[in-house]
Each structure stands twice: as C-alpha cells, then as structure tokens.
Amino acid sequence: MIDFDSRAFSQAVAATPHRVRIQTGLLSDAGPSGGKLWEGPIEAVFDAQGVSVFYGVKQALSGVSLRIERSRITALIGPSGCGKSTFLRSLNRMNDPVPGFRIEGQILYHGHDLYAGNVDEVEVRRRIGMVFQKPNPFPKSIYDNVAWAPRNLGLKHGLDERVEKALRGAALWDEVKDRLKDSALGLSGGQQQRLCIARAIAIEPDVLLLDEPASALDPIATASIEDLMHSLKGRFTIVIVTHNMQQAARVADRTAFFGLEATAGEPSGTLIECADTETIFNNPADPRTRDYVTGRFG
C-alpha cells in the first residue's frame, strides 16, 4: 500500500481551507497515484445554510450547513434514517410533492435560493438531474428512453448524436448500439441503471444527484457504475448518497458524514462532518465519524 501521512495531510488541508485540495490516490482509484493540485478557490454549486426538513410534525433533518463544490464527487454517508436521502432530494426539490414537506434554512444553488418564490421546480430539475435507487427506465425503447427528455425540452437538433453521446457517456453504447429499438425493460438491472444515467446526462444537466445508485445491483454492475462515475467526474458535479462506505472511499473527492442526533427529544438527522474523503476515512475530526468509518457503529 502507499504510505500516507494522515497528520501531515490534515494539517495541509486545515491550513488551506477551500483553496488547495490534494488527492493522493490512496483511496480513490481515479487518476495517477501522485498528487493532483487544484489552484484557486473552488466554486460552490450548492451552499446549504442551516437546512432543516420536516415531514409533517416529524423533523427529518436539522441544521445542515454544507458546501458542495463544482465538478467534484461528494458522497453523503451515514446510517439509515439519518436524512442523507432527504437532503439529496431537497437539492432538486424532489421532496416538494411529499405531503407535509417543509424546509427551513436556505439552499443556494450558484447563489440562487432554490426555495425562493419565483423558482420553478421544473427548471430546477432540468439543471439538476437525479438517478434513483431502483432503476426506473420508461416502458419505451432504449433510444426513446434517452431521447424523450431532450425532445420535450426542445433539444431536437442532432438527436441521434445526442443519444449516442449520452449512451457512450454512460458506458452503455457498445452493449446496446445494435438494439436501440428494443424495449429498455429487457436490459439487465445494471444496464437499466446505466440507461437511467444516460437518460439523465442526455439533457446535459449541471449537477447529477445519485440516490444509492448501486444498492439494488450486484457487485459487477456496481463496479461498472463506479467506473462510470469516475468517467463522469469533471463533466458534472456529482452528489451521491451511499450506504456503502467503501464505495464512498472509492469514488468520492469529498465525503459528508450524516448521523442521528437527538434534538428536543426526537432524534433527527444532521451533518456531523464534511471533509476530503481521505480525511473522513483516515483522520476524522469527530469521534462519531471515526466510530462509524471504523465499523464500531452503524
């Protein structure tokens, strides 16, 4: 294994908040194992400030403040019921139809309040795409699954190229190029999930939210989804919720650890800590994070 001085690393991070990020390749298999340097401040795509979410009287999330940086992969990890999916779904307003949903605090997306009165949630979701836990292709052909949203959004020019590009981007093109007219329901689970990713990137969103995208898949399909995330990095800002800590360690640049905390009696989810993935796994600041990542809890 590569030797890694976590103390020196965390000092380096602490000394330069939001300025220089060092990726060592220890936990991530992306890129060369040498250091990679980003210069200058990294722009925040999302800036959540004191976000609390309620479903009716039940509080699901309390006081989450989190910056999500551009063109990087941020993983949200934590035990079940700690609000990580709730937080993710609040980022593109997918919680809006949930009865009793209420949000406090502010989520800024490129500086705009996502929940301001003049914000159209359809426009929000056009820019912030989402892939769900269970593959949910439309009961249409493979081609039409990818082409449907661009067609409806008026992106009809060069549709064939767009579909091919999206399917290539989702590492599915070679498997389906000869049967684009076949039903998407005939694909395997892993292929269906990659089709859902292709469908999401076909409209070239700014952000891709992935809600446990591999939890319904076998290990081989999971590996292909993880490979895919590496190849999508840079083109999109990616936020992924995962139960699987190894997955977070393998794919994410930044990791946010959510936990349950009792506020006023009722336990609700909250953000414990967010840092570079290496820091979270090797030198977390909070003992709860350490207990969780070392398997002592959860």
Partner 1 sequence: MSDASFDPAAPLAPSGNLRRRRAFSRIAEYGATAAALAAVGVLGIVIFGVAVHGASAISLDFLLKGSPDGIGPELVGTAEIVAIATLIAAPVGILLALYLTEFGNSRLASWIKLTLDLMNGLPSIIVGLFVFGLIVKATHKQSGFAGSVALAIIMLPVIARGTIEILLLVPSSLREAADALGVSRWRTVLGVILPSALGGILTSTVLAVARAAGETAPLLLLCSVYDPSQVTLNPFEALPNIPTTIFRLSEEASPEGFTQAWGAGLVLLTFIMVASIGARILLARSRSKMAQ
Residues that bind partner 1 (CB under 8 A): 92, 94, 122-127, 129-132, 134, 136-140, 148-149, 152-153, 185, 196, 199-200, 203, 205
Q: Which of 198, 252 has the CB closer to partner 1? A: 198
Beta strand 237-241 with 58-69: parallel, antiparallel or unpaired? unpaired
Shortest distance, CB of residue 209 to partner 1, whole angstroms?
A: 8
Interatomic CA distance for residues 226 and 213, integer angstroms: 9
Interatomic CA distance for residues 211 and 218, integer angstroms: 16
Measured on CA atoms in the order 102, 271, 255, 289, is the torsion positive or negative? negative
Shortest distance, CB of residue 138 to partner 1, whole angstroms?
A: 5
Name residue 73's beta-bridge partners: 238
Shortest distance, CB of residue 151 to partner 1, whole angstroms?
A: 8
Q: Which of 121, 291 has the CB closer to partner 1? A: 121
Q: Which of 130, 256 has the CB closer to partner 1? A: 130
Q: Which of 95, 282 has the CB closer to partner 1? A: 95
Phi-psi region of 42 (alpha: psi -120 to 50; beta: other; left: phi over 0): beta
Q: Which of 137, 190 has the CB closer to partner 1? A: 137
175 three-class SS: helix
Beta strand 237-241 with 207-211: parallel, antiparallel or unpaired? parallel
Interatomic CA distance for residues 52 and 81, integer angstroms: 14
Shortest distance, CB of residue 205 to partner 1, whole angstroms?
A: 8
Q: Which of 153, 220 has the CB closer to partner 1? A: 153
CA distances 177 to 80, 168, 174, Å, are 38, 10, 6
Phi, then psi, of 144 in degrees rounded to 5: -70, -30
Q: How many residues does the chain have?
A: 298
In the numeric block, which tokens belong to residue 253? 């640049």
Shortest distance, CB of residue 79 to partner 1, whole angstroms?
A: 24
8-state DSSP, 283: S
Shortest distance, CB of residue 291 to partner 1, whole angstroms?
A: 34
Q: Which of 92, 237 has the CB closer to partner 1? A: 92
- The answer to whether 187 and 193 are in contact (CB under 8 A) is no
Q: Which of 225, 275 has the CB closer to partner 1? A: 225
Shortest distance, CB of residue 200 to partner 1, whole angstroms?
A: 7
In the numeric block, which tokens belong to residue 120? 């159209």
Interatomic CA distance for residues 153 and 127, integer angstroms: 12
Shortest distance, CB of residue 185 to partner 1, whole angstroms?
A: 5
Interatomic CA distance for residues 73 and 176, integer angstroms: 27
